[in-house]
Amino acid sequence: MQVLSIIILSVLACITYGVIHDQITARICVEYFTIGHPRVVPSVDPTVLACVWGVIATWWVGAILGIPLAVVSRAGCRPPRDMSSLVRPISILFAGTAILAVAAGVVGYVAASNGWVILVGPLAQRVPVEKHVAFIVDLWAHVASYFGGFAGGIFLIVRVWRERGRSEKEK
């Protein structure tokens, strides 16, 4: 049961992060969701889009990270970790990911505002010119969130495994 609770925690944490993240980015540039993504709901409302895409784009990340996290938390003869012991580390992971997303959005804003990066191809034609910078801000923030989530998730998985090994040696 603990394995399943860890996986559920990971999925719900990712979804929560995704919805909050998308609530912000949908307000920066709703076109990121209406033009840059397939239409999945008949709405252009930023709140609706953020909720829908916050779930669609993150549940699977939670599963990909949650399954190995559950395994390294419970498998083997090392002292097991339970779900409640992972709430704080997962919260820290997402706080760090959020900081990375904000930083990437700021860098994207500076780069796009100065013309160092631009939209090209069909997106450049479909996104209104006055929204190009905002679109790039959202894009950079989203890419940074995925990177931060995956890299931080791998770090957390390794850390939990190592901490369980240290706990075993202390016995």
Q: Where are the beta strands (DSSP E) in the chain?
A: none
pLDDT at 167: 64
Could you tell me the pTM of the whole model? 0.93
- Give the residue-averaged pLDDT of 31-60: 97
Q: What is the pLDDT of residues 73-123, one digit of tens each?
A: 999 988 999 999 999 999 999 999 999 999 999 999 999 999 999 999 999
d(CA 11, CA 70): 12
d(CA 90, CA 113): 34
- Give the residue-averaged pLDDT of 148-152: 97
d(CA 49, CA 67): 28
Q: Is 80 helix (H, G, I), strand (E, B) or coil?
A: coil
- CA distance readout (Å), 52 to 43, 102, 112, 144: 10, 21, 27, 20
